[in-house]
Amino acid sequence: MTDEPDDQKPSSPCHPEEMRATWDLKVGRSITMQGTARWTPAGVVMAGIAASAVLLALSALVRAARRS
């Protein structure tokens, strides 16, 4: 979190290739949700590494379960 008020945030992204998304979801008359997402090329690489690590661990667990 930054200490800047919302009205003083810079209009340009911190990372040159940064992508942002903002959405609003309304359910009925009284429920409103808002969300934002920020995506960078480094985030894509890290998501791939994390998914590979999970799949590698899962394959080891499946292999160990078949042997016993």
Overall pTM surpassing 0.95 (yes/no): no
Distance CA 65, CA 67 (A): 6
3-state secondary structure at position 3: coil
Read off the pLDDT of residues 29-45 as tens digits, 9 standing for 90 and up: 899 999 999 889 889 99
19-27 and 31-39 strand pairing? antiparallel
Domain boundaries, the chain: 15-67
Residue 12: pLDDT band (50, 70, 90) is low
Query: Are 17 and 41 contacting, i.e. CB atoms less than 8 angstroms apart?
Result: yes
Distance CA 50, CA 58 (A): 12
